[in-house]
Structure 1
Amino acid sequence: MGDQYTETSEGTFIKLADGTYNWYEKNFFNDEQSVEMTQLDGKEYVKVNNGENSESPWGESETLQTSLSDVLRSLFGINLVEADIDEVSVHTETDKTRYTITTTTNYPERIKSETLQALQKRLEALKQENTQKEFIQGMEAQIQLIEETQYLDNILTYEIDKEGFLTDFTYKATVSQKNGAYFNFITSTSITEYNLNDTSHLLPSIDD
């Protein structure tokens, strides 16, 4: 509706000795509401804050709603192939190298299709679980909005630090909606810490 909308996530993932992961993620919606999720030793927990001191306690999910692959895919799963690339520029600084990629129109259409397939699958699962009607309607509206949206002028930027780690990723696009409105869509991810010796402070404590 012409207003700026911001969604921010922060979190961590920790690889355990047996090769599995524990992880934590907190999502902020326009700085008014937040949803926290964590997966500890194969169990997933959720906590919701609706603002105005309305915060739920941690509750265990009956089924795992989010797999680690879903979380990591949002960070690294760009799924970009050579045919998607229209132009590449490289800028090198003392402590990092920045790669800026302009994509062809095929890339956003393919990603849009894959996103819609995943959302439809999730929607069917929620219906089977008898999820609240309002939540179902919200997801259906989200799916319809994506179906009617075109993503134009797609630019991806990667920053690699001097140690060879991917530390920043940004995706920018001009978005065209069915009603003819245009706006900017930007998603950005930064990895602020990695390979820490002490990770005890990164995961929440869940009371039994």
Structure 2
Amino acid sequence: MMKNPMVTTIFFLSSILLLSGCGGSTSTTSVVVEIGNAAQKNAELDNARFETRYSMDSEAEPFDQSSEGVFVKTAESDYDWYQKTSFEGANTTEIAQIGGKQYQKISVPGQAETQWVEVSSTGFALQELLRSLFESEVVEAEIAESQVEDKGSSKEYKLTMSDAYADRIKARNVKEFQQNIDELKQNNEEALVIEEMETRLQEIEETNFQDVTITYEINEEDFLTAVHYESTVVPPDGESNTLITSFSLTEYNLSDTEDLLPQIAE
């Protein structure tokens, strides 16, 4: 089923990035296990508020995008969710997936308020949108260095990744992006859209990532509450930039969920 192009772009940015320990007693093996267990434990959450941020330090084309959202579990591994994304303080895009249907609303400053519109994509799972909070992709052999800091109510794990990690994630994203293009072709999407996606794929293939660090935060209840990626992006033109991507849970297991999701009239 075709995925919404806006969501696909957001997902790609979040997926592209996705240590001997301080104190002497925390091994790299135990760090990987603790992070993996915390990510799996997030599947136990009944609901949560979350935030994401993507920013690129580029003189030619700076980029800053933030979002806030919520999710509510409806069944095992199934969720209703909502996300509002702001693009550098200008346009906002709201996406909701409720009752197996996906909706979108785009607001432009100075224009009349728009209504929710059902879109063709209904297969974009919360676990894809927030993959880093539900699935650990850390492989011990790809960790160059690790640091663990006890902050009282939480632990912070800062991992410096090897080039092998960046290469593996890039290869995965190239494959997934190609699959998305194939789906667009199967759904007879407009040629202009496909051509734009193929141009983007070529950019992905020619872009490299260096000096990747990932910081995880696990709270005292053993939930993975934040993941922060930082890396140096080397695009085809050779001008390096800093890319920062973060995902965090701000509240969870709220007792009152009545007003968490938007009310969308059929």
Q: Which residue of 1 aligns with 2:82?
A: 24
Superposed CA deviations along residues 69-101 of structure 1, whole A, max 9, x for unmatched, are 322314333411111111110111222211000
Partner letter of residue 145 of structure 2?
A: E
Q: Is 1:175–2:236 an aligned residue pair?
A: no
Q: Is 1:195–2:237 an aligned residue pair?
A: no
**Larger CA deviation: 13-22 vs 105-114:** 13-22
Q: Is 1:66–2:130 an aligned residue pair?
A: no
Q: Is 1:45–2:103 an aligned residue pair?
A: yes
Task: Give the number of equivalent residue pairs.
Answer: 208
Q: Which residue of 2 aligns with 1:97?
A: 155
Q: Is 1:6–2:61 an aligned residue pair?
A: no
SS at match of 1:25: strand
User: How is 1:27-176 mapped onto 2 (pairs within 5 angstroms)?
Assistant: 27-53=85-111, 55-176=113-234
Superposed CA deviations along residues 94-140 of structure 1, whole A, max 9, x for unmatched, are 22211000011011111111111111111222233333455434433
CA distance in structure 2 between the partners assigned to 1:146 and 1:157 by the alignment:
24
CA distance in structure 1 between the partners assigned to 2:189 and 2:110 by the alignment:
25
Superposed CA deviations along residues 145-187 of structure 1, whole A, max 9, x for unmatched, are 2111110001000111222222111000011122110010110
**Larger CA deviation: 170-179 vs 30-39:** 30-39
Q: Is 1:185–2:226 an aligned residue pair?
A: no
**Larger CA deviation: 151-160 vs 57-66:** 57-66
**Larger CA deviation: 18-27 vs 105-114:** 18-27
CA distance in structure 1 between the partners assigned to 2:125 and 2:76 by the alignment:
17
Q: Structure 1 residues 134 and 36, CA, compared in 2 at 3 Å: closer, same or farther?
A: farther
| Contact in 2 for aligned 1:47/1:55 (Cα 8 Å) | no
SS at match of 1:191: strand
Q: Structure 1 residues 54 and 137, CA, compared in 2 at 3 Å: closer, same or farther?
A: farther
SS at match of 1:102: strand
5+ residue gaps, structure 2 = 1-58
TM-score by length of 2: 0.72
CA distance in structure 2 between the partners assigned to 1:66 and 1:72 by the alignment:
11
CA distance in structure 2 between the partners assigned to 1:134 and 1:56 by the alignment:
26
5+ residue gaps, structure 1 = none
Partner letter of residue 130 of structure 1?
A: N
CA distance in structure 2 between the partners assigned to 1:17 and 1:192 by the alignment:
22
TM-score by length of 1: 0.90
* Percentage of pairs with the same residue: 38
| Contact in 1 for aligned 2:181/2:194 (Cα 8 Å) | yes
**Structure in which a larger fraction of residues adopt helix:** 2
SS at match of 2:173: helix
Q: Which has the higher contact order (CA 8 A, sep 6+)?
A: 2
